[in-house]
C-alpha cells in the first residue's frame, strides 16, 4: 500500500480534481437551466423534452455530492489509508463519468471540445483518472479490506456505543428469524416488535417531552440513521423498516398537528403502543400525489373516506393509517386540496383483513405478493364510507387542504432513512462477500486474491462507505432544517448502488449466491425496492433534484 506521504498527495490532487469537475457540472447545469427556463421558472414541458439529460445530470450531481462527503471524511483522517483509498477510487470514477458525459457531445451542454480538453489538462483530470482507476489501486484497497474487515464509521463514542448495541441486537435477535420470515412470507414476529419498542426505536424522532428519545430542541437524524442501518443489516423486512412509518407520521404531527393531537398520538407512537402505516400511493398515482383520487367527504362529526390505496406497508397490523385524501372536489387545486386523516382500525395478522364500523363504514385489505421486502407485508387497502372523526384530521380544521405540506415534512426524513437502510443492506452483503472471498478457494487460491474479485470487493467497500458518510452528512443538514434536495439526492444515489453491491455479493458466491439458504440472495431482492419506494428514482431525479437545482440556477441569473 502507498505511504502516508503519497496519500497526502492524493488528497491534494483530489482538491484540484474537484475544482475541475465542479466547473464542468456548473456549465452542464447552467446549459440545461437555460434550455428549460420560461418566464423565470423551470418549464415542466421543456424539462420533459430533455428528460434523459435531466435524469443523467441529477445522478451526476448526486454522485458529486456523495464525492464531497467521502473526500471530506478522508481529509479528516489522512492517515487512514482505507478511507483515503475509498475517496480516491470514488472521485476517480466520478471524474471519468462526468468527463465522458461532456466529451461525447460537448455542444449539448453548452461547451466546446477545446474547452473540455483544456479543463482536462489544467486540472490534471486525465492523470488523476489514470492513476486512481488502475487495477492496482483497487487491489490495494481490497487487500486492506481483507485485513481490516469492517469499515470505520467515524462516529463519536456515544453513537458508536449505540451502533454496537443495535448491531448485537440485529445479529442475535433479528438475523436468526430473517430467512424464515423471508422464505415463508411471514409477518414480523411480535417478539421482534416488542423488543424494538423496548429499545426505544419507535421514539427516535419523537421529542423527549412526548416520551421519545430525541432532545426536545435538537433533532437527531444521525442517531436515527445509525439505528436504521444496523437494523437493516439484520433484515430490511423484519427490522430495518419498522421505524420508518412512525417517523413519517411523527414528523407530520410535529409539523402540523394540534397540541391535543401531539399529546395524544406521539407518546403512543413512541412506545409502540400504537403502530402506524402510511396510505398515500394509489394504483394510478405514486409519486405524483397531486393527482390522488381517494376522497374524504364531510359527514356529521367527521369525514367519510372512499377509494383505494396501494403499497400500504404494514397496513394490516397497524392500529392507525396516515391517509392522504382529497378533501376538495376541485381537482384543479392539485396538492392544495389534500388532507391527512388518521384512520384507526384493529390489528390484523396474515395476508388479508376486513373491518366494518358500527355505522357501516368498511375497510378491507389484501397483501401484495413481492419478490423481497417481506415481513411487514404491503397491502392494497379499500375504503368504503370509512368514518374518521374531525379530531383525527391532522391539524384540525386548520389542517384541511394542508396535507401535502405535512406529508412532505415526513417524507424528507423517510428518504434519508431509505439511504440508511440501503447502507445497512450493503454492509450486510459486503460482510458476507468478504468472508466468502477469504474462505472459498478456486484453482488453488482464495478467490479474494484474484484481480477481478479484488476490484469488486474494493468497489463494494467504497460504495458502502460513501453511502454511509453521505447519509450522515445529509442527516446533519436536516438537523439544521436544511438539506431537502440533498435528502432526495442521497436516496436516489444510494438506492441505485445498493443493487450493484448486493448483486456482486451474489456473484462472488457463485451458484450458492442464487440459493435461498444464503442470505445474499435476500439482500439482492430486498435492495431492489429502494429505487421504487419513498419516491421512485425517475421522479426524484426529474421532479425534485433536477427541477430544484435548475430553478436555483435560474434564480441566481435574475
Q: Which residues are catalytic?
A: 534
Q: Crossing angle of helices 81-103/113-122, nearest 10°?
A: 160
Q: Cα(21)–Cα(9) distance, rounded to whole angstroms? A: 18
Which CA distances in Å does 7 have to 10, 11, 77, 127, 466? 5, 6, 11, 16, 18
Residue 54 falls in which region: left (phi positive, over 0), alpha (psi -120 to 50) or beta: alpha
Show the cell assigned to 393. 384530521
- Cα separation, 145 vs 153, in Å, equals 14
Dist CA 29 CA 550 (whole Å): 7
Q: Crossing angle, helix 81-103 and helix 451-479, to 10 degrees?
A: 90
Judged on CB neighbours under 10 Å (0-12, 13-18, 19+), 488 is: buried
The runs of H, that is alpha helices, within 157-277 are 157-169, 175-184, 190-198, 221-234, 244-256, 259-271
Cell numbers at residue 128, please? 488523476
CA distances from 285 to 290, 292, 319, 368, 380 (A): 8, 6, 24, 17, 13
Residue 241 CA to residue 255 CA, distance in Å, equals: 22
399 to each of 329, 387, 410, how far by Cα in Å? 16, 18, 15
For residues 175 and 173, give the distance between their C-alpha atoms in angstroms, rounded to a whole number. 6
E strand spans, 88-208: none
How far apart (Å, rounded) are the C-alpha atoms in residues 508 and 501?
Answer: 11
CA distance 349 to 326: 29
User: Smallest Cα–Cα separation from 526: which of 170, 150, 173, 182?
Assistant: 182
**533 neighbors 314 (Cβ within 8 angstroms):** no
The size of the chain, in residues, is 558
Among candidate residues 535, 456, 551, 425, the one with its CA nearest the CA of residue 490:
535
* Residue located via cell numbers 488502475: 134
Apex 235 CA angle, 195 and 440, nearest 5: 130
Largest CA distance in the chain: 78
C-alpha cell at 251: 414528523
Amino acid at each position: 500500500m502507498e505511504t502516508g506521504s503519497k496519500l497526502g498527495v492524493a488528497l491534494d490532487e483530489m482538491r484540484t480534481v474537484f475544482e475541475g469537475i465542479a466547473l464542468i457540472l456548473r456549465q452542464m447545469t447552467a446549459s440545461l437551466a437555460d434550455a428549460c427556463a420560461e418566464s423565470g421558472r423551470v418549464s415542466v414541458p421543456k424539462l420533459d423534452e430533455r428528460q434523459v439529460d435531466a435524469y443523467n445530470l441529477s445522478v451526476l450531481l448526486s454522485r458529486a455530492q456523495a464525492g464531497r462527503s467521502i473526500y471530506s471524511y478522508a481529509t479528516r483522517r489522512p492517515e487512514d489509508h482505507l478511507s483515503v483509498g475509498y475517496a480516491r477510487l470514488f472521485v476517480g470514477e466520478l471524474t471519468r463519468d462526468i468527463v465522458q458525459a461532456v466529451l461525447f457531445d460537448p455542444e449539448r451542454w453548452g461547451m466546446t471540445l477545446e474547452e473540455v480538453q483544456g479543463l482536462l489538462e489544467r486540472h490534471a483530470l486525465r492523470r488523476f483518472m489514470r492513476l486512481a482507476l488502475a487495477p492496482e489501486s483497487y487491489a490495494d484497497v481490497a487487500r486492506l479490506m481483507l485485513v481490516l474487515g469492517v469499515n470505520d464509521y467515524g462516529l463519536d463514542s456515544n453513537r458508536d456505543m449505540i451502533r454496537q448495541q443495535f448491531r448485537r441486537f440485529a445479529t442475535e435477535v433479528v438475523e436468526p428469524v430473517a430467512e424464515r420470515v423471508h422464505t415463508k412470507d411471514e409477518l414480523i414476529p411480535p417478539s421482534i416488535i416488542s423488543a424494538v419498542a423496548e429499545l426505544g426505536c419507535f421514539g427516535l424522532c419523537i421529542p423527549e417531552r412526548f416520551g421519545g428519545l430525541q432532545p426536545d430542541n435538537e433533532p437527531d437524524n444521525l442517531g436515527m440513521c445509525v439505528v436504521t442501518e444496523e437494523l437493516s443489516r439484520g433484515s430490511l423486512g423484519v427490522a430495518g423498516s419498522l421505524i420508518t412509518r412512525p417517523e413519517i407520521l411523527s414528523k407530520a404531527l410535529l409539523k402540523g398537528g394540534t397540541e391535543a393531537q401531539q399529546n395524544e398520538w406521539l407518546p403512543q407512537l413512541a412506545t409502540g403502543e400504537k403502530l402506524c402505516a402510511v396510505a398515500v400511493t394509489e394504483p394510478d398515482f405514486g409519486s405524483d400525489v397531486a393527482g390522488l383520487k381517494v376522497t374524504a367527504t364531510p359527514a356529521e362529526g367527521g369525514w367519510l373516506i372512499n377509494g383505494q390505496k396501494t403499497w400500504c406497508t404494514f397496513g394490516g397490523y397497524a392500529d392507525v393509517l396516515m391517509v392522504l385524501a382529497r378533501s376538495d372536489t376541485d381537482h384543479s387545486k392539485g396538492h392544495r386540496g389534500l388532507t391527512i386523516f388518521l384512520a384507526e382500525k384493529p390489528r390484523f395478522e396474515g395476508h388479508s383483513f376486513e373491518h366494518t364500523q358500527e355505522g357501516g363504514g368498511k375497510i378491507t385489505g389484501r397483501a401484495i405478493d413481492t419478490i423481497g421486502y417481506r415481513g411487514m407485508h404491503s397491502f392494497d387497502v379499500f375504503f368504503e364510507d370509512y368514518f374518521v372523526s374531525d379530531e383525527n384530521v391532522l391539524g384540525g380544521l386548520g389542517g384541511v387542504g394542508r396535507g401535502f405540506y405535512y406529508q412532505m415534512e415526513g417524507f424528507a426524513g423517510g428518504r434519508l432513512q431509505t439511504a440508511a437502510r440501503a447502507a445497512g443492506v450493503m454492509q450486510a452483503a459486503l460482510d458476507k462477500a468478504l468472508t466468502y472471498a477469504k474462505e472459498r478457494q478456486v484453482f488453488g487460491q482464495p478467490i479474494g486474491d484474484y484481480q477481478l474479485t479484488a476490484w469488486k470487493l474494493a468497489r463494494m467497500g467504497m460504495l458502502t462507505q460513501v453511502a454511509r458518510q453521505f447519509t450522515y452528512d445529509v442527516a446533519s443538514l436536516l438537523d439544521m432544517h436544511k438539506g431537502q434536495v440533498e435528502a432526495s439526492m442521497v436516496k436516489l444515489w444510494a438506492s441505485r448502488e445498493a443493487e450493484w453491491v448486493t448483486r456482486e455479493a451474489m456473484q462472488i458466491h457463485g451458484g450458492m449466491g442464487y440459493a435461498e439458504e444464503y442470505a445474499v440472495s435476500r439482500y439482492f431482492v430486498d435492495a431492489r425496492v429502494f429505487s421504487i419506494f419513498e419516491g421512485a428514482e425517475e421522479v426524484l431525479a426529474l421532479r425534485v433534484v433536477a427541477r430544484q437545482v435548475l430553478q436555483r440556477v435560474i434564480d441566481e441569473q435574475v
